[in-house]
Amino acid sequence: MSNSNFKILLVDDEPDIVEFLGYNLKKEGYTILTANNGKDAIEIAKKEIPHLIVLDVMMPDMDGIETCRELREQKNLQEVLIAFLTARSEDYTQIAGFEVGADDYITKPIKPRVFISRVKALLRRLQANNISESVIEFGNIRIDKEKHVVYKGELEIALPKKEFKLFSLLSSKPGKVFTREFILDQVWGDEVVVGDRTIDVHIRKLREKIGDDYFKTVKGVGYKFEF
């Protein structure tokens, strides 16, 4: 997933700050949404489900803490990352902020490079939990779901549909054993009925193309990808 697939909602009552932050994040390729108060922020968040919400703590009417609390009450927004902005060392808001479900706390004055680093670090966690990443790397193996291609070091390996799907599944959780049943469900689908050996054959192809060592058999249980 390139940066531009990440949506960030910036919320501050001072338009200057919103613009300043937005400018810097846009340069990094993020998609930016903005709001100038808590109410609008909640509206936009519900509609757009951003990946990250940056909330100023001090805002008129509805402050950041309260906004955060209401955001977290939304079922669709419980996984969303929320970072607070505040003036230095207001400890009580920090504690309140984390209590209310914040993921990070950024103190003003904001330095662009530091700010961007923090944003990246936050979003990296989303990637790590790998909701919908299109390029995943394991050691020298790189899987590009968009291009439907696997790289082993420099070598580009084209995989046919089923093989790619199977590989994607296995690599979605390295080390985890996937049962044959589950694999059939995910790769072939519920209704399709194929023999058991079909999986073996596909595994064999992957072993041939990617490398034997990456695919382990757990006899009687299933297969797993390891790197």
Partner DNA sequence: TTATAATTTAATAATTAGTTAACTTTGGGG
Partner DNA sequence: CCCCAAAGTTAACTAATTATTAAATTATAA
Q: Which residues bind DNA (CB under 7 A)?
A: 158, 160-163, 180, 188, 192-198, 200-204, 207, 217-222
The DSSP letter of residue 176 is -
Nearer to DNA by C-beta: 73 or 226?
226
Among 175, 200, 211, 212, binds its own copies (CB under 8 A): 175
Min dist CB 195 to DNA, Å, is 3
Using the rule CB under 8 A, is 142 a contact of its own copies?
no
128 binds, among its own copies, DNA, none (CB under 5 to 8 A by kind): its own copies
Strand, coil or helix: 82: strand
Q: How far apart are CA 110 and CA 107, in angstroms?
A: 7
Are the CB atoms for 55 and 69 separated by under 8 Å?
no
Nearer to DNA by C-beta: 51 or 202?
202
Are the CB atoms for 11 and 41 separated by under 8 Å?
yes
Using the rule CB under 8 A, is 155 a contact of its own copies?
no
Q: How many of the chain's residues bind its own copies (CB under 8 A)?
A: 43
The single residue listed with the structure tokens 């990070």 is 104
Query: What beta strand segments (E) does the chain contain?
Result: 7-11, 31-35, 52-56, 81-87, 104-108, 135-138, 141-144, 149-152, 155-158, 178-179, 215-218, 222-225
Among 40, 177, 198, 209, binds its own copies (CB under 8 A): 177
Q: What is the 3-state secondary structure (H, E, C) of 181-213?
A: HHHHHHHHCCCCCCCCHHHHHHHHHHHHHHCHH
194 binds, among DNA, its own copies, none (CB under 5 to 8 A by kind): DNA
Min dist CB 18 to its own copies, Å, is 22
The token duo for 112 is 């662009």
Where along the sequence are the contacts to its own copies (CB under 8 A)? 75, 78-79, 91, 94-95, 97-99, 101-105, 111, 113-114, 117-118, 120-121, 124-125, 128-129, 144, 146-149, 158, 160-161, 173, 175-177, 218-221, 224, 227
